[in-house]
Amino acid sequence: MSGATRQAINPWVIALTVTIATFMELLDTSIANVSLPYIAGGLGRSFDEVTWILTTYLVANAVVLPMSAWLSRVFGRKNYYMACVALFTITSFFCGIAPTLGVMLMARVLQGIGGGGLAPVEQAILVDTFPPAQRASAFALYTIAIVTAPAIGPVLGGWITDNYNWRWVFFINIPVGILSLLLTNRFVHDPDSFQKERNSVRINGRLNIDGIGIALVGVGSAALEILLDRGQIEDWFGSTFICWCAFIGISCLTAAVWWELRTPDPIIDFRLLKVRNFAIANVFYFVFGIGLFASTTMIPQILQSLYGYRAIDAGLVLGPGAFVITCLAPVGAQLVQRGIIKPKNLLFGAVLTVGYAFLHYSHFNLQTDYKHYALARALQGLGYAFFFVPLSVIAYSQLSPAQNNKASSLTNFFRNWGGSFGIAFVTTMSERRQDFHQDRMAANLTDSSLSLHQSIQSTATYLQAHGYAAADSIAAATSRYYDQLYAQTRLLAFMDCFHLMGVLTLVAAPLVLFTAGLKSGAKAPEGGH
């Protein structure tokens, strides 16, 4: 296809085309979570065994994601993107028909490999498709995809499982994948400038492979992802397996950084972090990942375990946040593009809003209703609606077009690891803080506590009046007060997590002020600074 024909394609057609598959992949990071008990029953395995369905996908995703820039240069960005979509779609079919857990896990590994390349390649395509003056609007579309997909996943997964069969959680990817392949083949093309990047991976016609970097990044990422995803289940460093994962992960990734900084054509270009705006932006990508994935994991848990919500009802609490982001992210893009608000000022306000939203969550109690949770999520969505667009503009503001491809891998690398750390943080922190609060409350509710005995006796008397035997009434009354103790301490633990996430977000906020100034719509420099 000629250059003139390519230029005639509306960039928004390209943006929507590449967003379809990325949305599908990000949806898959959370859609299977609520279906795990049904998958365990369908495959005849324990719940603990089927949790590897989530782990294997995340591990494969984490391994491939940082390598996507290099792989797209080797195979061509369009070819690599279509190969990822095709692999993701085909393996979704095999996940859906899997007769055993072994087949399912193998299919999930391959699905994770296919999915790992989609988000960074899409981001690189958007950066190259839109001129700097219009990128904010493209990033608004990307924001909607990466924020709403993980939130919609549990709701959609619960609805499909309740009304159809857990296998359809995977089958729904197939028509979307086919549509994405058809549209990508028709509308997406590598820019002429990208050919120079492709040539850079070959020396005298031979492919230049950073084998050591690939091995170190791959093994290190896999070990660290297993550590984060399985740590709480395996009792963290009380497990020899987790200790080995920590040693291998830290050693390999440390060696990878040292090696990649000294390699002429690294698999991950950590040298880009010398660019001030890009380095600061990646701190916020990491913080963004922590806050989004931690809260998206935690809120449904709170509502289901403490308030008695169904999975689909708990998921609907996340809806207002997604709605606010969908409506206001384009507004944020226009504020940046038209120069009404400087990107750093908009980002600073957005970070403060997200931090305040987390602190607001931390004051909830067992009487808090749906409206208050939904409004808090909408407040969080208000922050995220104006968070990602200026952040992405700042991230690429000091990079040359030749650096965009490698940069997209790094930004997604930090966002992905932020999400993994966030989920591991709330899983572990909520358990530890519950033990802490339970010990403190139990210390004040000893066997000699007169008020406790009176409350239990009063409840037992009430139960006896309604048909309970004397012995059963005492046991039921005691159990009731233990359930109240559990609920109170569980809620306090979750509120502590929200508080710490709010503090972390607010502490990071001043970093925005250290970004170099840029004019909205300014042309990207030809070389990194």
The pLDDT tens digits of the residues spanning 462-472 come to 666 666 766 66
Question: What integer is the mean pLDDT of 54-74?
Answer: 82
- CATH superfamily of the 275-428+495-529 domain: MFS general substrate transporter like domains (1.20.1250.20)
Which residue do the tokens 């070389």 mark? 527
Choose from 11-25, 43-57, 183-197 the range with maximum mean pLDDT: 11-25
**pLDDT band for position 525 (cuts 50, 70, 90):** very low
What is the overall mean pLDDT for the chain? Answer: 82
Task: Say which range, 376-380, 475-479, 521-525, has the weakest mean pLDDT.
Answer: 521-525
Q: Is there a shared CATH topology between the 1-208 domain and the 275-428+495-529 domain?
A: yes
Question: What integer is the mean pLDDT of 65-81?
Answer: 84
In the chain the first and final C-alpha atoms are separated, in Å, by: 35
DSSP letter for each residue of 464-498: HHTT--HHHHHHHHHHHHHHHHHHHHHHHHHHHHH
Question: What integer is the mean pLDDT of 376-380?
Answer: 93
Question: What integer is the mean pLDDT of 500-512?
Answer: 94
According to DSSP, the residues that pair with 493 across neighbouring strands are: none
Give pLDDT tens digits for 122-146. Answer: 888 888 888 877 778 888 888 888 7
Please report, for the chain, the start and end positions of each structural domain, with discontinuous segments joined by +.
1-208, 275-428+495-529, 436-489
Question: Do 391 and 285 form a contact (C-beta atoms < 8 A)?
Answer: yes
Separation of alpha carbons 289 and 508, rounded Å: 13
Please state, in angstroms and as integers, the Cα–Cα distance from residue 288 to each residue in 248, 253, 385, following that order.
27, 22, 12
Let me know the angle formed at the C-alpha of 140 by 137 and 146, rounded to the nearest 5 degrees. Answer: 150
Q: Which two tokens stand for residue 83?
A: 């190969």
Phi first, then psi: what are they for 202, rounded to 5°?
-120, 135
**pLDDT band for position 526 (cuts 50, 70, 90):** very low
Separation of alpha carbons 281 and 304, rounded Å: 35
Q: Which residues of 465-485 are buried (b: 16+ CB within 10 A; e: fewer)?
A: eeebeeeebbebbeeeeeeee
SS3 content of the chain, % helix, strand, coil (to 5): 80, 0, 20
- Fold entry, domain 1-208: Growth Hormone; Chain: A; (1.20.1250)
